[in-house]
Amino acid sequence: MQVIVLGSGAGEGIPAIFCECRLCAEARQNKIFHTRSQVLLDGELLIDFPPDTRYRALCTGIDLSKVNNILITHSHSDHCYVADLQMQYARRGDGEPQTPIHVHANRTVCALIDDRQPRDSNLTVHMHKAYETFSAGAFTVTALPATHMPNEECLIWLIEKQGKTVLYATDTGYLQEEILSRLTERGIRLDALIADGTYGTSDFRDGGHMNFGENEKLREQFLLRGIADTNTRFFITHIFHGAARDSATLKKAIPTGYELLCDGYVIEI
Ligand SMILES: [Zn+2]
Ligand SMILES: [Zn+2]
Ligand SMILES: [Zn+2]
């Protein structure tokens, strides 16, 4: 499985538009960016649809016309930019039929998209609840509950294809015990974990994101319970510009066993 990281930053991205903090200034200077988090799996499954989607596709030369399924974690605008989803019509520019796209999401996101969909849209929306397993093209996906917003069932995704398994877990606090026990019961052994590490070295906690201490604890638990082993790769995404005072500090603080994702990173598993 190939995972292309189109975006790896929190809601503001790094650099944040008007910010002069060291992390943002260094990102501008070194051109190492963390736009709003998004990944593309095997060229056909997108996870999340941030406002940077169109521009990232232009910059990278990645052709998103083969995408036939989109998983959306929750309704925050850095993950669900409805205005661009509204532009997806059933007919191509030359009048030929457009590839249908299936969007998988929670009730809130489905309602948001449905409300504003043009009549001749090529999107079909599928509502899912936590612990449901479904097919998305060649992938088998299980929705798991994030800990992120009290008034919305935000989802993280367990993705399986041809014996490879990835857990994409952003916009969540530390994973609920029930998730860990269900993964253990199902005998899941991850090839990769892509985890929210929003707050990095900062002490700030709101329960809806993780910091590096929690990332470290999660890796230990996964290894202890056999959800991961020595072949599992661990990545941090959704990094925030308050995660460290500068890029050297951030780099030094990455928890043992993890790699910090940046835009353009390609994971082959
Ligand atoms: Zn977010
Ligand atoms: Zn900043
Ligand atoms: Zn969010």
Query: What separation in Å is there between the alpha carbon of 266 and the centre of ligand 2?
Result: 25
pTM for this entry: 0.97
Query: What separation in Å is there between the alpha carbon of 202 and the centre of ligand 2?
Result: 14
Q: What is the pLDDT of residues 15-66, one digit of tens each?
A: 999 999 999 999 999 999 999 999 999 999 999 999 999 999 999 999 999 9
The answer on pLDDT for 233 being more than 90 is yes
Query: What separation in Å is there between the alpha carbon of 14 and the centre of ligand 2?
Result: 7
Q: Which ligand is nearest to the CA of 49?
A: 1
State how far the Cα of 190 lies from the Cα of 211, in Å rounded to an integer: 21
State how far the Cα of 191 lies from the Cα of 164, in Å rounded to an integer: 6
The answer on pLDDT for 149 being more than 90 is yes
Length reported for the chain: 269
Number of domains present in the structure of the chain: 1
Q: What is the pLDDT of residues 167-220, one digit of tens each?
A: 999 999 999 999 999 999 999 999 999 999 999 999 888 889 999 999 999 999
The answer on pLDDT for 78 being more than 90 is yes
137: left (phi over 0), alpha (psi -120 to 50) or beta: left
- 203 φ/ψ angles, rounded to the nearest 5 degrees: -85, -10
Task: At 21, list the tokens.
Answer: 């903090």
For residue 116, the model assigns a pLDDT of 82
Q: From the CB of residue 248, how many other CB atoms can be counted at a distance below 10 Å?
A: 11
Confidence of residue 144 (pLDDT cuts 50, 70, 90): very high
Position 189: which residue type?
Answer: R
The answer on pLDDT for 264 being more than 90 is yes
State how far the Cα of 90 lies from the Cα of 97, in Å rounded to an integer: 6
- Whole domain around residue 135: which residue ranges? 2-268
Query: What separation in Å is there between the alpha carbon of 92 and the centre of ligand 2?
Result: 39
Query: What separation in Å is there between the alpha carbon of 155 and the centre of ligand 3?
Result: 10
For residue 204, the model assigns a pLDDT of 84
Average pLDDT in the chain: 97
The answer on pLDDT for 11 being more than 90 is yes
Q: What is the pLDDT of residues 85-127, one digit of tens each?
A: 998 999 999 999 999 999 999 999 999 999 888 889 999 999 9
| CB within 8 Å of 237: residues ≥ 6 apart | 5, 8, 37, 170, 194, 195, 196, 197, 261
Q: What CATH number corresponds to the domain at position 202?
A: 3.60.15.10
Query: What separation in Å is there between the alpha carbon of 171 and the centre of ligand 3?
Result: 5
Residue with tokens 């538009």: 17
Confidence of residue 14 (pLDDT cuts 50, 70, 90): very high
Residues above pLDDT 70, as percent of the chain: 100
Q: Which ligand is nearest to the CA of 147?
A: 3
Query: What separation in Å is there between the alpha carbon of 92 and the centre of ligand 3?
Result: 32
Query: What separation in Å is there between the alpha carbon of 246 and the centre of ligand 2?
Result: 10
Task: At 181, list the tokens.
Answer: 């026990």
Query: What separation in Å is there between the alpha carbon of 107 and the centre of ligand 2?
Result: 33
Outline where DSSP puts E strands in 155-225.
Answer: 155-161, 164-169, 192-196
DSSP output for 41-86: ETTTEEE-B-TTHHHHHHHHT--GGG--EEE---SSTTTB-HHHHT
Give the strand pairing for 139-145 and 69-71: unpaired
Query: What separation in Å is there between the alpha carbon of 237 and the centre of ligand 1?
Result: 10
Average pLDDT score over residue span 238-256 = 97
Query: What separation in Å is there between the alpha carbon of 135 and the centre of ligand 3?
Result: 25
For residue 27, the model assigns a pLDDT of 97
Q: Which ligand is nearest to the CA of 74?
A: 3
Query: What separation in Å is there between the alpha carbon of 152 and the centre of ligand 1?
Result: 14
Q: Which ligand is nearest to the CA of 20?
A: 2
